Structure 1
Amino acid sequence: MPVDVQGLTSEEVADRVARGQVNTLPSRSGRSTLDIVRANVLTRVNAILFVLFMCVAVTGHFIQGIFGLLIVVNSTIGIIQELRAKRTLDNLAVVGEAHPTVIRDGVARQIVRDEVVLDDLIVVTPGEQVVVDGVVVDADYLEVDESLLTGESDALAKEPGDRVLSGSFVVSGTGRYRAEKVGADAYAAQLTAQAAKFTLVSSELRQGINKILKYVTWLLIPVGLLNIVVQFTQPDTTWQEAVLRTTSALVPMVPEGLVLLTSMAFALGVIRLGRRNCLVQELPAIEGLARVSVVCADKTGTLTEHALTLGEIIHLDADPAEVSAALAQLVAADPTPNASMQAINAVVEPADRPWPILARAPFTSAKKFSGVTFEHATWLLGAADVLCEGEVADRAEEIGSTGRRVLLLATASERVDSASAPGAVVPKALLVLDQVKRTDAADTLRYFQEQNVEVKVISGDNAASVGAVTRSLGVEIGEVVDARTLPEPGPEFAGIVDDADVFGRVTPEQKRQMVEALQSRGHSVAMTGDGVNDVLALKDADLGVAMGSGSSATRAVAQIVLLDDKFASLPHVVAEGRRVIGNIERVAKLFLTKTIYAVILALAAGLLGIPNPFLPLHVTVVGWFTIGIPAFLMSLAPNRERARPGFVRRTLAVAIPGGIVVAAGALTTYLGSRGLHDVPDHIQTQASTATLITLIMTATWVLSVVARPYVWWRAALVAFAYGFYFTVFALPVSQRWLSLDVSNLQTIGFGVIVGLIGMAAIEVIWWVTAVIRGETPRLWGQPAKASLE
């Protein structure tokens, strides 16, 4: 098939752009600005609050409807944070996305994937992703992996005329293909678009919150109807007062701030990680970060730099001139040199007169060698312990045990494209490569050890070399496992993988099996990688973390991309996930406690046929200063605890008993102050004031136990809440504003005593339930390290 090396001309490209034959893909962040505004304004919570606000508005008592500001606050903060997150993702995605090389006007140039047009001639090299569907024009030992599309991990050889599909990636060799289907017409057009999408897909946290909201919505209907009937049938009660007391019973049932804080915490997590050059490609990945118990890391690119240097050449009964000539020919014959070949190329000049090539085999992780069959001989370059045995292999192993990388230069009896390759191997020389350790690797590994996160070093390199590098970083490891000695996947295989820390000579398929084995042992696995050989494991891990300079295939399947290639960013990534999920769980206990005591109080008032004790403004003040503001502050604080499954169960274990105690205390004060019969207005006001005192004392004590273990600012937060409420009840202006009457000291004293009893009950429940759940209750704790804040 003739090859048009000119590619398209500028005029042809312009014509296709005008006709819309461009690889146009959805927005990187998934949602437009209008979608974001609509999603944050038209919510279930906002709809409930708006209906309740309109009920208050028709009475003319607008000050009582101040809770309606939550609609504006919820929507505004949610919109601002998501727009900021969208902008962060859009900016980072430009750096992190695939940049294909096309030939136009006879010149190769890199463009963004969205600028590819129909009939473009696209160049591909190892590690690059096929961005549109097309037909291979020419191929130089081109092998393509379509596992992302078909699930099959075997690489497929591609010849001119063969089809390639978007979403597949090049394993070895080079080639060019012509774009036949672009944009929405491509087989997997959405795959690369998803790589930088701002998503709000399912997660345990969101599913739990949505389930709770659904229950609350259904509870509002019968409780609301019951209160309407009761409040409107009270003697000597105006319809305005009946509406206000009905509304005040329903407003605290809505956990409005929980939804806001969840969205905001996720969005802030995206922004904070973005500042560290971490691209969060799927928002729920933030939740996955918090659950990580094992980090699987490759040696190269993670513990060591990518760059290698050729340290020395050890000749093995071979003429040095023959070795030099062979290396020069191998350098000249490799159009896409890897890091090892680049290190050799820095010392050995390519041959001026290349030997005729009969066959060539690019390096793959499965074979562990590359080679070229020339007219007179076949030369190989690869792992000594794979290509040969005996004294040479032992010598290479000895050198590798010091942390250096060793390659064997050898001749082979079989052509490299033969099914029986390499055949008989004759060692000629050992090439010793030096690798530079990352300066931040030791501190990063130490952090994970302190946080009880296991690190498994999984590499395709010599096992002794991997172990030496890991030990040189100050990490205590046991036996170093050569993956070639591992049994087939099963219980024994899973046990070895779970127990050992360092593995060498691991194949891509074994990496995938190791991830599955760790998951079968109950681990949440994060996999880091940068090469094509890491794609399968990244895809199957609970959390895939790719390096920004790695192949476009790894970036496409990973949930997190470290754009600056810093392994030291990973502790911040894990810490951010723990902060978000841990804090949301903490504040959820506050919001659901409020929902539970509000439901109980509303039902009690309806069933007993008495007026609701509170006005809407009462519950608004309590909601803001006992729950809203403290919850907001706590949601932003550092949190080092690893997330665990069972969010709803643990949250309700605190919220249900806490809500019952708060409601029981408030009802005791209310009924003890006014009884079940009709009372004059001033008695009703005094009873409501005393009940509000009890409610504030007990509800704020729920805040005090949720805030534990204390650090100075959490203790100050609880103290501020109590101080604020004391001021509110002491100042005449706030008494008038909130319709409070503290003149009856006996009634007020009764409310205080009941409140103290309720606080004691909440304290006892906190200690008892913690023991039942198998947790160690702590009053005081240490703040997170400043370096991770």
Structure 2
Amino acid sequence: MFLCGILLFLNQFNLEGNCLKNAVVNTVAAIIGMIPEGLILLTSTVLAVSVIRLSKRKVLVQELYCIETLARVDTLCLDKTGTITEGKMEVNDIIEISEAKENLEEILEQISIASEDNNSTIEAIRNKYNGRRKWEAITKIPFSSQKKWSGICFKDKGSFIIGAPEFVLKESYKNYKDIIEKYSNDYRVIVIAHSEENFNEKELPNNLELLGLILISDIIRKEANETLKYFKNQGVDIKIISGDNPITVSKIAKRAGVENSEKYIDMQTVETKEQLKEAISNYTIFGRVTPVQKKELVMALKEAGHTVAMTGDGVNDVLALKEADCSIAMASRK
């Protein structure tokens, strides 16, 4: 507005036969006439220019007002996979439990061929183990963020399940907790289990036996560390919300440069709203978070007076993205 006033004054002052007094009077009259109508135009113009600037950084803005909201954000919630990591994983090793390594490799090969999932875990297994189809699949249970496992029943072979240890092993998890947590410090640990029985209406079959552990690592985005430093300098608090093991997420967050990455919590232990509000104040890393809990965490932050931005790259992030003051969907590079 100040710049506009100067330009108007110069224009009036340079008119032939116009004096200083008339130039001032005409300028003031013009500026008064622009308020508030002109203010709306100027605001819209500034926001439109901001959209253009963001587009040059490969950011597509859906709602114009989100530019203003983004400037007021004081808490940023990040989903680990596809946000601070590239969304790509690699299988580093297989740990034998009750099955030989060569047999585990054959099982994973047949699972990767028969599976219709396309998440980062199964893609990592496909990249590591590929071959030709040998077994006939009769039942397929796709992966979901709620149950955190997927499985396939093969003819004359039984059912094979891969997924998060706590969700697959359930009560027997405590028997393997030490060895799983040993590897969780450096890898994302996926269990592979077997049962002679078929699935119980899309539920886990009975008499599951743990065959081995799959050690997978995330690839951190090259720009993650620099970006997180920028947010820290801007006074924006970072919260990492992930469905993975909190220990694993904590280690990845530390590598990416997240402050207070050692403050993590397993959201399976949070049962009440009071516990949720306490957790959101005391922790930075949230592991084993369900899609509904992601939404509840965003709501708790907003109730605490924060302006919240949420980033995510999957269907499991949709509820939280919709609830946040400012939502940022991350595109996956194929």
1:689-708 alignment runs, 5 A limit: none
1:247–1:446 CA distance, 2 compared to 1 (3 A): closer
Report what 1:723 is aligned to: none
Structure with more relative contact order (C-alpha pairs < 8 Å, separation 6 or more): 2
For residues 413-438 of structure 1, the C-alpha deviation after alignment (integer angstroms, 9 at most, x for no partner) is 65335264243321001111122222
1:414–1:421 CA distance, 2 compared to 1 (3 A): farther
- The partner residue of 2:32 within 243, 246, 253 is 253
Would you say 1:395 and 2:175 are equivalent positions?
no
1:413–1:533 CA distance, 2 compared to 1 (3 A): farther
Report what 2:257 is aligned to: 474
Tell me how far apart the structure 2 counterparts of residues 264 and 302 of structure 1 sit (CA, whole Å).
31
Do the aligned residues in 2 keep the contact of 1:331 with 1:351 (CA within 8 Å)? Answer: no
Would you say 1:484 and 2:263 are equivalent positions?
no
Report what 1:370 is aligned to: 150
Would you say 1:383 and 2:167 are equivalent positions?
no
1:323–1:248 CA distance, 2 compared to 1 (3 A): closer
User: What letter corresponds to residue 386 of structure 1 in structure 2?
Assistant: F
Sequence identity percentage: 35
Do the aligned residues in 1 keep the contact of 2:141 with 2:202 (CA within 8 Å)? Answer: no
Tell me how far apart the structure 2 counterparts of residues 314 and 255 of structure 1 sit (CA, whole Å).
72
1:445–1:414 CA distance, 2 compared to 1 (3 A): farther
Do the aligned residues in 2 keep the contact of 1:466 with 1:502 (CA within 8 Å)? Answer: yes
1:88-127 alignment runs, 5 A limit: none
- The partner residue of 1:451 within 228, 234, 238 is 234
Tell me how far apart the structure 1 counterparts of residues 25 and 174 of structure 2 sit (CA, whole Å).
88
User: What letter corresponds to residue 280 of structure 1 in structure 2?
Assistant: V
Tell me how far apart the structure 1 counterparts of residues 199 and 81 of structure 2 sit (CA, whole Å).
26
Q: Using structure 2 for the length normalisation, give the TM-score.
A: 0.85
Tell me how far apart the structure 1 counterparts of residues 135 and 154 of structure 2 sit (CA, whole Å).
10
Tell me how far apart the structure 2 counterparts of residues 443 and 250 of structure 1 sit (CA, whole Å).
49
User: What letter corresponds to residue 279 of structure 1 in structure 2?
Assistant: L
Shift of 1:405: 1.1
Shift of 1:496: 1.1
For residues 653-702 of structure 1, the C-alpha deviation after alignment (integer angstroms, 9 at most, x for no partner) is xxxxxxxxxxxxxxxxxxxxxxxxxxxxxxxxxxxxxxxxxxxxxxxxxx
Report what 1:418 is aligned to: 201
Q: Secondary structure at the match of 1:386?
A: helix
Do the aligned residues in 2 keep the contact of 1:516 with 1:540 (CA within 8 Å)? Answer: yes
Q: Secondary structure at the match of 2:87?
A: strand
1:331–1:441 CA distance, 2 compared to 1 (3 A): same
For residues 131-176 of structure 1, the C-alpha deviation after alignment (integer angstroms, 9 at most, x for no partner) is xxxxxxxxxxxxxxxxxxxxxxxxxxxxxxxxxxxxxxxxxxxxxx
- The partner residue of 2:248 within 444, 460, 465 is 465
- The partner residue of 1:494 within 267, 277, 283 is 277
Report what 2:11 is aligned to: none
1:62–1:416 CA distance, 2 compared to 1 (3 A): farther
Tell me how far apart the structure 1 counterparts of residues 197 and 16 of structure 2 sit (CA, whole Å).
90
Shift of 1:252: 4.4
Tell me how far apart the structure 2 counterparts of residues 447 and 533 of structure 1 sit (CA, whole Å).
27
User: What letter corresponds to residue 135 of structure 2 in structure 1?
Assistant: P
Give the helix-richer structure, 1 or 2: 1
1:326–1:405 CA distance, 2 compared to 1 (3 A): same
For residues 212-269 of structure 1, the C-alpha deviation after alignment (integer angstroms, 9 at most, x for no partner) is xxxxxxxxxxxxxxxxxxxxxxxxxxxxx9xx99978854432355334212211110
Would you say 1:324 and 2:105 are equivalent positions?
yes
Q: Secondary structure at the match of 2:80?
A: coil
Q: Secondary structure at the match of 1:301?
A: helix
Q: Secondary structure at the match of 1:439?
A: coil
Report what 1:539 is aligned to: 322
1:245–1:316 CA distance, 2 compared to 1 (3 A): closer
Do the aligned residues in 2 keep the contact of 1:361 with 1:417 (CA within 8 Å)? Answer: no
Tell me how far apart the structure 1 counterparts of residues 204 and 82 of structure 2 sit (CA, whole Å).
30
Tell me how far apart the structure 2 counterparts of residues 470 and 370 of structure 1 sit (CA, whole Å).
26
User: What letter corresponds to residue 475 of structure 1 in structure 2?
Assistant: V
Report what 2:141 is aligned to: 361
Do the aligned residues in 1 keep the contact of 2:267 with 2:286 (CA within 8 Å)? Answer: yes
1:274–1:417 CA distance, 2 compared to 1 (3 A): farther
Tell me how far apart the structure 2 counterparts of residues 392 and 351 of structure 1 sit (CA, whole Å).
33
1:231-242 alignment runs, 5 A limit: none
1:542–1:424 CA distance, 2 compared to 1 (3 A): farther
Tell me how far apart the structure 2 counterparts of residues 411 and 387 of structure 1 sit (CA, whole Å).
10
- The partner residue of 1:343 within 116, 120, 124 is 124
For residues 110-133 of structure 1, the C-alpha deviation after alignment (integer angstroms, 9 at most, x for no partner) is xxxxxxxxxxxxxxxxxxxxxxxx
Would you say 1:278 and 2:62 are equivalent positions?
no
1:370–1:249 CA distance, 2 compared to 1 (3 A): closer
Q: Secondary structure at the match of 2:70?
A: helix
For residues 553-575 of structure 1, the C-alpha deviation after alignment (integer angstroms, 9 at most, x for no partner) is xxxxxxxxxxx79xxxxxxxxxx
Do the aligned residues in 1 keep the contact of 2:117 with 2:143 (CA within 8 Å)? Answer: no
Report what 2:219 is aligned to: 436
1:533–1:413 CA distance, 2 compared to 1 (3 A): farther
For the aligned residues, what is the CA RMSD?
Answer: 2.7
Would you say 1:303 and 2:84 are equivalent positions?
yes
1:516–1:424 CA distance, 2 compared to 1 (3 A): farther
Tell me how far apart the structure 1 counterparts of residues 105 and 193 of structure 2 sit (CA, whole Å).
12
Q: Secondary structure at the match of 1:364?
A: coil
Q: Secondary structure at the match of 1:305?
A: strand
Do the aligned residues in 1 keep the contact of 2:276 with 2:300 (CA within 8 Å)? Answer: yes
1:515-530 alignment runs, 5 A limit: 515-530=298-313
Tell me how far apart the structure 1 counterparts of residues 163 and 92 of structure 2 sit (CA, whole Å).
16
1:543–1:252 CA distance, 2 compared to 1 (3 A): closer
User: What letter corresponds to residue 447 of structure 1 in structure 2?
Assistant: Y
Report what 1:599 is aligned to: none
Give the strand-richer structure, 1 or 2: 2
For residues 359-405 of structure 1, the C-alpha deviation after alignment (integer angstroms, 9 at most, x for no partner) is 21111111110001223311000011322212423312221122x11
Number of matched pairs: 312
Tell me how far apart the structure 1 counterparts of residues 178 and 113 of structure 2 sit (CA, whole Å).
30
User: What letter corresponds to residue 375 of structure 1 in structure 2?
Assistant: K
Do the aligned residues in 2 keep the contact of 1:309 with 1:434 (CA within 8 Å)? Answer: yes
User: What letter corresponds to residue 146 of structure 2 in structure 1?
Assistant: A
Q: Secondary structure at the match of 1:313?
A: strand
Q: Secondary structure at the match of 1:278?
A: coil
Shift of 1:410: 0.5
Do the aligned residues in 1 keep the contact of 2:238 with 2:258 (CA within 8 Å)? Answer: no
User: What letter corresponds to residue 253 of structure 1 in structure 2?
Assistant: I
Do the aligned residues in 2 keep the contact of 1:385 with 1:397 (CA within 8 Å)? Answer: no
1:283–1:465 CA distance, 2 compared to 1 (3 A): same
Report what 2:10 is aligned to: none
Tell me how far apart the structure 2 counterparts of residues 409 and 397 of structure 1 sit (CA, whole Å).
16
Do the aligned residues in 1 keep the contact of 2:116 with 2:142 (CA within 8 Å)? Answer: no
Q: Secondary structure at the match of 2:144?
A: coil
Tell me how far apart the structure 1 counterparts of residues 328 and 96 of structure 2 sit (CA, whole Å).
40
Tell me how far apart the structure 2 counterparts of residues 528 and 412 of structure 1 sit (CA, whole Å).
38
1:198-213 alignment runs, 5 A limit: none
